[in-house]
Amino acid sequence: MSNSRMTSRWGLLALAILVSGCQSTTIRSAWFDTGFSGPPMRKIVVVGNLGRVADERILEDSVVKRLRAQGVDAVAGHVAGLDDRRMSEADFKAAVLASGAQGLMLVTLLGVDTRSQVTTTMVHGGMGWGRPPWGGSAWGATAWSAVPVQHITQYDLATAETKLFDVQTRQLVWAATTTTLNPVSVAREAPGFADLVVTQLASRGVIAGK
C-alpha cells in the first residue's frame, strides 16, 4: 500500500473515532428564575413530548429514575395519566395537581437536523520533480509532496427544550435547550440527558443536592 493511501486511511480512522467519541448531550442555553427562593422541590412530575408514545415513556422513566436517585420523589407523566393527548387543558392541570407534585417538567423534542462537517488534512501526494523548492534536492531528483485532502462527514443533532414549572404558581422556574450529537435511540440517550438536567437543577438549588 502506498504511503499516500495509508496516511489517508489513518486520517479517516482518526476522524471516525473522534466523531463517535463525542456522542453526548450538552446544554446550549439555560435560564433560571433568580427570584426562586425555594424551598427545593421535593416532588416533580415529568412529561415528555417527543412525538412517539413509546419514546416519551422511556424518557419519562429515565428522568424519574435519576430524580429518585437524587432523593427527589418523582412520577412519570404516563403513570399520572398525562399521556392522553385528548385531554383538555383543564383536565391536564387537574391531573398535575392530583399528582401532588410541586414541579412540572416538560421535555419537548424540537427536531433532529442532519449537518455536514468539512475537514482538511495534509497527506503525501504526487511525486515532485526538479530542484528546490519545487521538488527534489537536485535536478532530476524526486520527492514526496504534501497535498490537502478534504473529508466530508455528516452528523445528526437532536435539539430538545426542557421547562420546569412551579405547579402552584404556574411560573417557569428553569429552562434549557439541549443538543444531542448523533443520537442512536431514546433508550440510549435518555440516561445521559436525565443526568445532565438533574445535575443542573441540583446546582441551582431547585431540587435538593446530594
Hey, is 17 helix, strand or coil? helix
List pLDDT tens digits, range 38-91: 899 999 999 999 999 999 999 999 999 999 999 999 999 999 999 888 889 999
Domains with residue ranges and CATH for the chain: 22-112+156-203 (3.40.50)
In which band, very low, low, confident or very high, does the pLDDT at 26 lie, cut at 50, 70 and 90?
A: very high
For residue 175, pLDDT beyond 50: yes
pLDDT computed for residue 208 by the predictor: 85
Hey, is 35 helix, strand or coil? coil
List pLDDT tens digits, range 134-151: 444 444 444 555 667 666
List pLDDT tens digits, range 159-172: 999 999 999 999 99
List pLDDT tens digits, range 77-120: 999 999 888 889 999 999 999 999 999 999 999 998 886 666 77
pLDDT computed for residue 84 by the predictor: 87
Long-range contacts of 173-176 (CB under 8 A, 24+ apart): 173/32, 173/33, 173/36, 173/103, 173/206, 174/30, 174/31, 174/32, 174/33, 174/36, 174/200, 174/201, 174/204, 174/206, 175/30, 175/31, 176/27, 176/28, 176/29, 176/30, 176/31, 176/200
Tell whether pTM > 0.85.
no
pLDDT computed for residue 38 by the predictor: 83
